[in-house]
Amino acid sequence: MSHSNHTYSHATYRLYDDKADFAKKAQGIAVGLTVGSWTDLPEAAKEQMQKHLGQVVSVDVHEPADAQPGQRYADITIAYPDLNFSRDIPAFLVTVFGKLSMDGKIKLIDIAPSSDFLSAFTGPKFGVQGVRDLLGVHDRPLVMSIFKSVIGHDLANLREQFLQQALGGVDLIKDDEILFENPLTPLEKRVEACASAAREAEQATGQKLIYFTNLTGPTFELKTNAKRAIAAGANGLLFNVLAYGFDALAELAADPDINVPIAAHPAMAGAFYPSPHYGISAPVLLGKLMRIAGADLSLFPSPYGSVVMPKAENLAVMEDLLTPALPQKTSFPVPSAGIHPGLVPLIMGDFGPDVVVNAGGGVHGHPGGAAAGGRAFRQAVDAIKLGQTLEQYAEKHEELRVAIERWGVRTS
């Protein structure tokens, strides 16, 4: 949207209120989050402030005739002048949902930053295509394995865990997000041990592999730590974006020396998106903002596993990660938590080819061990690609057969 040569960024909110005058409320937001007051301003001041004034774009009231208490809501879209905020995500978020986030039953359900604002963000360095190019895999979903049971384990143990996961033929391995700097597996030593296991596995499988090392530490040390990890051989970084803030991710993604893909972990996302009344919607949080800030992969709870996000929200997150409507490269959707090989038909059916099948317990919990677990996932992906059911393919693929026996198959 553009008024008088000024560009605007949009934000859409869902407000629940049984009695409110939503049009008045919308006007209050447009003025309150921009110039502060309007009607009381002298005419000369109004002329001066006009370019900074927010505009109500739409007020869409949902009030069924038989509405029960708590059901009346409105979707309100406000246009904010880009003039009012600098080109960084904290400034944008504080403008559109700073104080407002605490003002009643209100949830930020969509954002449409202007092209001028978006042009300030490099976004994912690799994106879906770039990650595929790094691995040389272009014709199937990727498979990622998650380290499990890492706290309290030493380097030799960690290396062995890595090797077993890698031998199963997975494409990506990520640290557990709760593995921080510690005396048993300090950053550089951990990276060296895993990189050497990756080389060993690559000789056996002939397959390339990316290891997402957990990037941790105080905010102002993140860049240094990222570069230390890369110098030690890390070819990917895992990052707990919501604990640090989107700006930290944007700064890492924009640094030319941090030339490895970044996987965004959703830790703490549950504090933001699940309520219908408060917070920030999952597609905004784990879709648009992750991608704009520079996540090559964005993890989120799938609709099928142990920690569940409804399917409609999953698909909306995926849409925002993959839509060509944003100028940034696309990011891989990674529906996660409680994933096992028997869910692969659903994942590939719902998400299509550009998805990462990601599992921890579903790899390590395979009765034949982690290598067999990885193989079972790869076999499940191959089965669906070949148009076979998992049960058919399992007749000649032992690891998949055992996985199905252990977890079953879900087709809906």
Per CB under 6 A, 76 contacts ligand 1AE: no
Task: Tell me how many degrees the CA angle 319-321-326 measures, rounded to the nearest 5.
Answer: 95
d(CA 327, CA 325): 7
Residue 135 CB neighbour total at 10 angstroms:
15
SS3 279: strand
Residue type for position 160: E
Residues 209-268 that bind ligand 1AE (CB under 6 A): 266
Residue type for position 194: C
Contacting residue, 362, 393, 402, 403, with ligand 1AE by CB under 6 A? 362
Per CB under 6 A, 373 contacts ligand 1AE: no
In angstroms, what is the minimal distance from the CB of 284 to ligand 1AE?
A: 17
Q: What are phi and psi of 172, to 5 degrees?
A: -135, 145
- Chain residue whose CB lies nearest ligand 1AE: 360
Between the alpha carbon of residue 325 and those of residues 11, 17, 190, 329, 370, the distances in Å are: 16, 33, 39, 10, 39
Name which of 285 and 299 has its Cβ closer to ligand 1AE. Answer: 299
d(CA 204, CA 277): 52
In angstroms, what is the minimal distance from the CB of 336 to ligand 1AE?
A: 4
Cβ-based burial of 326 (10 A; exposed 0-12, middle 13-18, buried ≥19): buried
SS3 285: helix
In angstroms, what is the minimal distance from the CB of 20 to ligand 1AE?
A: 36
Per CB under 6 A, 374 contacts ligand 1AE: no
Residues 97-136 that bind ligand 1AE (CB under 6 A): none
Contacting residue, 12, 235, 336, 379, with ligand 1AE by CB under 6 A? 336
In angstroms, what is the minimal distance from the CB of 406 to ligand 1AE?
A: 14
In angstroms, what is the minimal distance from the CB of 335 to ligand 1AE?
A: 8
d(CA 362, CA 340): 4
User: Do the Cβ atoms of 18 and 63 come closer than 8 Å?
Assistant: no
Given the residues 46, 99, 125, 385, select the one marked as catalytic.
Answer: 99
DSSP code per residue over 308-345: ---HHHHHHHHHHHH-TTSSSPP-EEEEESS--GGGHH
Residue range at the interface with ligand 1AE (CB under 6 A); choices 118-126, 150-158, 206-214, 358-366: 358-366
Contacting residue, 106, 234, 299, 322, with ligand 1AE by CB under 6 A? 299
Contacting residue, 168, 283, 294, 360, with ligand 1AE by CB under 6 A? 360
Does 148 participate in catalysis according to the annotation? no
d(CA 160, CA 152): 14
In angstroms, what is the minimal distance from the CB of 87 to ligand 1AE?
A: 30
Contacting residue, 177, 251, 296, 399, with ligand 1AE by CB under 6 A? 177
Contacting residue, 48, 115, 119, 306, with ligand 1AE by CB under 6 A? 306
Per CB under 6 A, 89 contacts ligand 1AE: no
State both tokens at 351: 């998400």
* Residue ranges that bind ligand 1AE, judged by CB under 6 A: 146, 177, 266, 299, 301, 306-307, 336-339, 359-362
The catalytic residue positions are: 99
